[in-house]
């Protein structure tokens, strides 16, 4: 088969290498904390940003030409499959994620769109035989077409709800066919712009109904995949219902869906919500819903979802630290929901972006593993909260106390002795680990 990309296989050359087209930190078979790096870091290619995004923005046309571009959209869809496999094999990426409409174009009718998706996914499945490339997750694009201008599951139009259900059904069938280990719901336009025209109660009830139907359908067809909700606070709507992990948790509990869904945490969505990436991972972890990660980063000076490739070593380190505390991501992985900048229009830029993102997380894993082994923060926290280990503290921890008892205690012990939180010392230690590992 003819090659699409004029870039060879990307190898590990170690930290001293000056070759930009080589890994400095990602050494896939190297064992860290008893597992191969490739098992800790199940990197995935995002079909939409890698094969479909061509550099256009609100103000300008495409800037990128790809070697798989074709006049005929179906021919292009097949060429994208071949190009994606070449790209993943060259980078050693073993997973991919897709929306139904990234794999195959939307056609004039739903029936034709379904048929197009069948053809391309059959081809993808066949081409992947004998490779070690697998599907991390599938999803349905229920936000691009104008029928979804007011949402999909939360649309005021029941026919839009039905159309979205049809797309989700088909995307779940396709995820099953491709052996996907997760299925994602990012609430594209599930939110609102003004309360003047929005029945939030009905919209949220309907959203829960859609998720319940999808959960039941998953069981019915035997789709062996973890269902994931991907929180995001705004964009495209002003108020996205899935604001952040805590908001989604309360939604899941309210509607009795907490056992069926975990979460796919995206770094740029966390920062849009005013949270650090590791805050979202932490809240998901302590609630048992940390499922998978969309690895990217935003620009803190811009207020929108820039979906840049991750290069921030602090964030990657602290993210991998949460992943280690979580015991890994189970069936999840690290999907690069990231795109190259509009001015980075060459194919080589695409390779460089992935190498940079993979090395950032590989280095983050190496540092996090040392922090984890040395229990740096955990030891400090243990000491910091030790007043809850016995006496009155133990009773509070166990919930076996009354307000009267606490009042009696406080009357006798009114001298609260605080200790330094030592934030600067901990930051200093974190930096030492980053510098030395
Ligand atoms: C949008 C976003 C999506 C989801 C999948 O901000 O992150 O690409 O990851 O629909
Ligand atoms: Co995402």
Which pLDDT tens digit goes with each residue over 408-427? Answer: 999 999 999 999 999 999 99
Task: Write down the catalytic residue from 40, 49, 99, 279.
Answer: 99
Q: How far is CA 282 from CA 219, 277, 278, 279, 287, in A?
A: 29, 9, 6, 5, 9
Q: Is the CB of 336 under 6 A from ligand 1?
A: no
Show the tokens assigned to 330: 């189970």
The mean predicted confidence, pLDDT, of the chain is: 98
Q: Is the pTM of this model over 0.85?
A: yes
Confidence label for 1 from pLDDT (cuts 50, 70 and 90): confident
Segment 396-408 shows an average pLDDT of 98
pLDDT, tens only, 323-355: 999 999 999 999 999 999 999 999 999 999 999
CB 231 within 8 A of CB 248: yes
- Residue 72 annotated as catalytic: no
- Tell which atom from ligand 1 comes closest to the C-alpha of 141: 10
Q: How many angstroms separate the CA atoms of 245 and 43, rounded?
A: 22
Radius of gyration of the chain (CA): 23
Query: Could you confirm whether 99 is annotated as catalytic?
Result: yes
Q: Is the CB of 347 under 6 A from ligand 1?
A: no
What is the percent of the chain where pLDDT is above 70?
Answer: 100
Q: Residue with the nearest Cα to atom 6 of ligand 1?
A: 305
Q: How do residues 75-123 score in pLDDT, each as one tens digit?
A: 999 999 999 999 999 999 999 999 999 999 999 999 999 999 999 999 9
User: What percent of the chain stands above pLDDT 90?
Assistant: 100
Residue 296: both structure tokens together: 């990217």
- Asked if pLDDT for residue 229 goes beyond 90, the answer is yes
Q: Is 337 in the pocket of ligand 1 (CB under 6 A)?
A: yes
The tens digit of pLDDT for each residue in 281-324 reads: 999 999 999 999 999 999 999 999 999 999 999 999 999 999 99
Question: Which one of the listed residues 40, 49, 100, 102 is annotated catalytic?
Answer: 102
Residue 5, pLDDT above cutoff 90: yes
Give the strand pairing for 334-336 and 95-99.
Answer: unpaired
Residue 124: pLDDT band by 50, 70, 90 thresholds? very high
Ligand 1, closest atom to CA 232? 6
């Amino acid at each position: 088969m003819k090659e699409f990309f004029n870039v060879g296989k990307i190898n590990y050359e170690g930290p001293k290498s000056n070759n930009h087209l080589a890994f400095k930190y990602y050494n896939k078979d190297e064992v860290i904390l008893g597992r191969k790096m490739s098992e800790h870091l199940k990197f995935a290619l995002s079909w939409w940003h890698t094969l479909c995004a061509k550099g256009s923005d609100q103000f300008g046309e495409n800037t990128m030409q790809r070697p798989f571009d074709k006049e005929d959209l179906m021919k292009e869809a097949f060429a994208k499959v071949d190009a994606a496999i070449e790209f993943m094999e060259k980078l050693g990426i073993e997973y991919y994620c897709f929306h139904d409409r990234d794999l195959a174009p939307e056609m004039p009718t739903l029936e034709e769109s379904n048929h197009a998706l069948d053809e391309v996914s059959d081809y993808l499945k066949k081409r992947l035989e004998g490779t070690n490339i697998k599907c991390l997750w599938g999803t349905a694009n229920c936000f691009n077409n104008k029928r979804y201008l007011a949402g999909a599951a939360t649309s005021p139009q029941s026919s839009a709800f039905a159309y979205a259900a049809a797309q989700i059904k088909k995307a779940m069938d396709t995820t099953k066919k491709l052996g996907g280990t997760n299925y994602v719901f990012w609430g594209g336009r599930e939110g609102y712009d003004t309360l003047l025209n929005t029945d939030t109660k009905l919209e949220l009830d309907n959203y829960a109904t859609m998720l319940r139907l999808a959960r039941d359908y998953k069981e019915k067809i035997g789709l062996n995949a973890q269902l994931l909700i991907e929180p995001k606070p705004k964009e495209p709507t002003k108020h996205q219902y899935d604001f952040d992990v805590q908001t989604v948790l309360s939604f899941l509990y309210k509607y009795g869906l907490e056992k069926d869904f975990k979460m796919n945490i995206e770094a740029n969505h966390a920062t849009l919500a005013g949270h650090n990436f590791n805050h979202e991972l932490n809240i998901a972890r302590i609630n048992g819903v940390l499922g998978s990660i969309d690895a990217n980063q935003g620009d803190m000076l811009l207020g929108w979802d820039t979906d840049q490739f991750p290069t921030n070593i602090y964030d990657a380190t602290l993210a991998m630290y949460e992943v280690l505390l979580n015991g890994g991501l189970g069936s999840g992985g690290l999907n690069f929901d990231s795109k190259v900048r509009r001015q980075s229009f060459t194919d080589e830029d695409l390779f460089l972006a992935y190498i940079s993102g993979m090395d950032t997380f590989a280095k983050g894993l190496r540092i996090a593993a040392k922090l984890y082994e040395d229990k740096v923060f955990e030891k400090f926290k243990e000491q910091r909260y030790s007043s809850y280990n016995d006496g009155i503290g133990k009773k509070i921890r166990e919930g076996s106390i009354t307000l009267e008892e606490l009042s009696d205690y406080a009357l006798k012990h009114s001298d609260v002795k605080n200790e330094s939180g030592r934030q600067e010392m901990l930051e200093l230690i974190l930096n030492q680990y980053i510098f030395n590992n």
